[in-house]
Amino acid sequence: MAFFHHPAFQSLVLPVLLAAAGVGALRGMLGAAGVRWAPAAAVLALLLALAVLPGFEWPTRAAAQKLPWINVAARLLALDLATLHAGR
């Protein structure tokens, strides 16, 4: 189990595995339209990896614990902008 707590695994391997699994799942569920949502899977993988690195604690005290929430806010803003652009 020490392998999963190694910094190299948490910062390199875990995000890549989560992104590949997310893109594969979206591609399987949505077919060709899943390619359009691949960046969403990558952002979700980054969010999960960032949540695993420092651990989940609320309210956040350290800057590293605020990164997942900043990521969520940026993704929601990007999703809003994509929705506005798609509506035109």
| H/E segment holding residue 1 | none
CA atoms within 13 A on the CB side of 32: 0
Could you give the CA distance from residue 81 to residue 6 in angstroms, rounded to a whole number?
A: 37
- Each of the 88 residues of the chain gets a pLDDT tens digit; together they read 677 777 778 778 888 888 888 888 878 888 877 777 777 777 777 777 777 766 666 677 777 677 777 777 887 787 777 777 765 5
> What are the residue ranges spanned by the domains of the chain?
2-87
Tell if the pTM clears 0.75, that is, is over it. Answer: no
